[in-house]
Amino acid sequence: MKTINDFNFEEKKALIRVDFNVPLNEKFEVTDDTRIQAAKSTIIKVLEDGGSAILMSHLGRPKGVQDEFSLRHIVEKVSEVLGVQVKFVANCVGQEVEDAAANLEPGEVLLLENLRFHPQETAGDFGFAQQLSKLGDIYVNDAFGTAHRAHASTTIIAQFFPEKKCFGSLLAKEIESIDKVLSSGEKPITAVLGGSKVSSKITIIENILDKVDHLIIGGGMTYTFIKAKGGQIGDSICEDDKQELALEILKKAKEKGVEIHLPVDVIGADAFDNDANTDVIDVDMIPNGWQGLDAGPKTLKNFHDVILKSKTILWNGPLGVFEMENFANGTITLGHSIAEATENGAFSLVGGGDSVAAVKQFGFGDKVSYVSTGGGAMLESLEGKTLPGIAAIEN
């Protein structure tokens, strides 16, 4: 795996694909700079070597050129994070851009306009990638969030740098972290899968059953499993057409010697509402008119014991409707358990939209080993797929 540490960037222009797809408020101010912070070490390494950095990114899903998606809105924040006044050019291809790149001095940073203002970016257009490739000497992919897309700037461009392409430090860390869970991690390995649907996690479950020792299932998909086993789930969320699949997963896990841990009790509510009446109910005896919205105390104790015995932990998906304060306890308690195991020496990887949101919301970011920056890319990696953006650097 070639990373930026395999190159010296002195007098070189690094063309870096970053993921600056950050949230903006109505005043076009960055409300969460996590992704900019994540790219910082790669950019600083280039500058400290005596090179210059040309940054390419997308922002949102614009239909053609739309000012609200212009990367000029984030120049100030990127400059602040890097401690360098970042230059900006109002396009990403063409003569003006090529001149701006050519005139860049060592130690300087140039941010290009939103790649997705050009439909050729998402189409993976060869000519567009070739135009981008003229801007730098070495291509660095540091955008894990888009590594599962065969776009011009993430995949197609790499062929124009046969010997001069590498992973940035963020992307290298993502690859190493997922590899720890899927192949090189210390046993016992535990995966915690939450969220509402079995259907969205089925390929992940099938791929990781050969790798893990324990599989904790929580969140809304619990009830598909419980109903399949003959339990009463009241009005809880359930994918009726996936019950057979749930039984199949339980059978496969048993054959492979993987212990599956399902909730035994839940916090039930008589409405999908933070102010609903609640009770602790056995997971397979939820009365009609009630639904399970969080993990119960016995369940959390069981999960805690499994996690503390684990040496490698993957967490993907919450245990309850954590967006509502009264149903956040399960997810928060799980976070504390994983944090404790991590402190005791376990490796913990958190990934996938909702669990990352929960980790940020409840302050566990620095208490786990690694928080993935790429939702879709992380899930596809866990499904065992080869990501085009990664393959383009490795080939």
Can you say which residues are annotated as belonging to the binding site?
19-21, 35, 58-61, 116, 149, 201, 292, 323, 352-355
CB 58 within 8 A of CB 21: yes
Strands 214-217 and 259-261: parallel
> Binding site membership for substrate: which residues?
19-21, 35, 58-61, 116, 149
Could you say which of 164, 197, 229, 252 is catalytic?
A: 197
Q: Is 197 among the catalytic positions? A: yes
Q: What secondary structure, in 3-state letters, does 256-271 show? A: HCCEEECCCEEEEECC
Q: Is 45 among the catalytic positions? A: no
The span from the CA of 351 to the CA of 365, in Å, is 11
Backbone φ and ψ for 352, nearest 5 degrees, come out as 100, 130
Could you say which of 2, 107, 367, 376 is catalytic?
A: 376
Q: Is 353 among the catalytic positions? A: yes
The span from the CA of 363 to the CA of 382, in Å, is 25
Could you say which of 229, 353, 367, 384 is catalytic?
A: 353
Rg (CA), the chain: 23
Could you say which of 12, 13, 17, 35 is catalytic?
A: 35
Q: Say which DSSP state 182 is in.
A: I
Q: Is 35 among the catalytic positions? A: yes
- N residues, the chain: 395
Residue type, 335: G
> Binding site membership for ATP: which residues?
201, 292, 323, 352-355
The span from the CA of 20 to the CA of 369, in Å, is 23
Closest to 331 (Cα-Cα) out of 310, 352, 309: 352
Q: How many CB atoms lie within 10 A of CB 25?
A: 8
CB 263 within 8 A of CB 222: yes
The span from the CA of 380 to the CA of 383, in Å, is 5
Which positions are catalytic?
35, 197, 353, 376
